[in-house]
Amino acid sequence: MTTTVAPGTNAATCTVTDAGLKGEERTDISEQSSTDLLGAADIPWNLVVWNDPVNLMSYVSYVFQSYFGYSEAKSNKLMLEVHKKGRSIVAHGGKEQVEQHAVAMHGYGLWATVEKASSGGDGRGRKGGARG
Amino acid sequence: MAATAGDARAAHVAKAFKYGLKGITGYLEPAERELLRGLLDDVISMLEPQQSSNEDPLTALIGLDMNVKEPSDRALLRLLPNVMKNDDAASLEFRQLTERSLREGKIGALRATAMGLDRNELVLTLEEAKFWSMALNDVRLVLAERLDIRDEADADHVHAMQDWSQAEDVESYLALVYNFTTWLQESLVQAMMAAMDRKP
């Protein structure tokens, strides 16, 4: 491995988890609003990058730094999470936003998918469409 | 993910990319340039969209492709992956909107790299180096599919193949080519990181 993880100060504060992004937390807001304040774009989505045996660790970290503007420490942390755990949530936001990130990742050759934040591997996702 | 391929030097005469006063520089022998050109052309021809005669020119103009399907070729699917893991219908819908421009972007980087190979001196700006790293990555993804690299153990097995005098069959030749492009991309990314450190 060529990249080492510097014990960066901001790595801890930037930890990406889907724990705080449950769709349920927003239900009260949608009940209050009469108009469509809570559109589809407001439901949080995750951008997931998956491990593969081809992409170089240095390159993955470079992509996180140059595309997202993440620090070297944060990029290395996310890269190692992909490498060791098989996947990492590297960004979140509205659906269109994370889809745009996914296409950018595909442009770089990284294997990325989008998923609803509430279905992030805990098996109780609230999927709208029941296909697949 | 793959770790560095730092010991692949002995197999070829190219010089690692480095960052210095002139920018990001590298050196490739004519035969190595020829090899890379061939690889880049192969990936370009994989990515060039099939022209259908009854295509609506307006939808083509705005980048839509309603006839697009999930690629059956594994290598092409790796270059153009589904955007959702367990929703083929949503992935296909997204593909119709985005795949054409994704293909065009990749072809652009591959062509820019091929053109860079025509220059006598390999001196790259950070932007050019970005296209090179993307193009080399796509070449490696395709080679890896042809070599059946599915996990880290497969990658290690291929990486162990370093001696060009052992290249007796297509697979060992492909493995050596893969290792060469891996080494080249790694040295390029290191040079790019060094360049980024100087330019905040």
Which range has the worst mean pLDDT, B48-52, B139-143, B161-165, B168-172? B48-52
Instruction: Note the pLDDT tens digit of each residue in B53-95.
Output: 666 777 666 777 778 899 999 999 999 999 999 999 999 999 9
For residues B172-191, give the mean pLDDT: 96
* Domain assignment present for A14: no
* Domain assignment present for A38: no
Q: Does residue A42 surpass a pLDDT of 70? A: no
For residues A78-104, give the mean pLDDT: 97
Chain B segment 2-61 residues within 8 A of A by beta carbon are 2-4, 6
Q: Are strands B122-124 and B23-27 parallel, antiparallel or unpaired?
A: antiparallel
Complex ipTM value: 0.90
Q: Which domain holds residue B88?
A: 24-198
* Domain assignment present for A132: no
* Domain assignment present for B4: no
pLDDT value for B161:
86
Tokens of A36: 């469509």
Q: For residue A111, give the CATH number of its domain.
A: 3.30.1390.10
Q: Which domain holds residue A83?
A: 43-120
* E strand or H helix that includes residue A50: strand A45-50
* Domain assignment present for B11: no
* Domain assignment present for A24: no
Rounded mean pLDDT of chain B?
89
Q: Do A113 and B83 touch (CB under 8 A)?
A: yes
How far is Cα A1 from Cα A57, in angstroms, rounded to an integer? 7
* Domain assignment present for B8: no
* Domain assignment present for A20: no
Q: Does residue A1 surpass a pLDDT of 70? A: no
* Domain assignment present for A70: yes
Rounded mean pLDDT of chain A?
72
Q: How many domains does chain A have?
A: 1
For residues A26-38, give the mean pLDDT: 42
Which range has the worst mean pLDDT, A12-16, A29-33, B135-139? A12-16
* Domain assignment present for B3: no
* Domain assignment present for B148: yes
Instruction: Note the pLDDT tens digit of each residue in A52-72.
Output: 999 999 999 999 999 999 999
Closest of B90, B77, B86, B89 to residue A120, by C-alpha: B86
Q: How many domains does chain B have?
A: 1
* Domain assignment present for A5: no
pLDDT value for B163:
83
| pLDDT tier for residue B168 given thresholds of 50, 70 and 90 | confident
The CA distance from B53 to the nearest CA of chain A, in Å, is 27
Residues of chain A neighbouring B134 (CB-CB closer than 8 A): 107-109
- Pick B1's closest partner by Cβ from A83, A107, A115: A83
The CA distance from A30 to the nearest CA of chain B, in Å, is 25
Please name the amino acid found at residue A15: T
More confident residue, B54 or A107: A107
- B194: closest chain A residue by CA: A62
Which range has the worst mean pLDDT, A87-101, A116-130, B146-160? A116-130
Tokens of B152: 């880290």
* Domain assignment present for A129: no
* Domain assignment present for B16: no
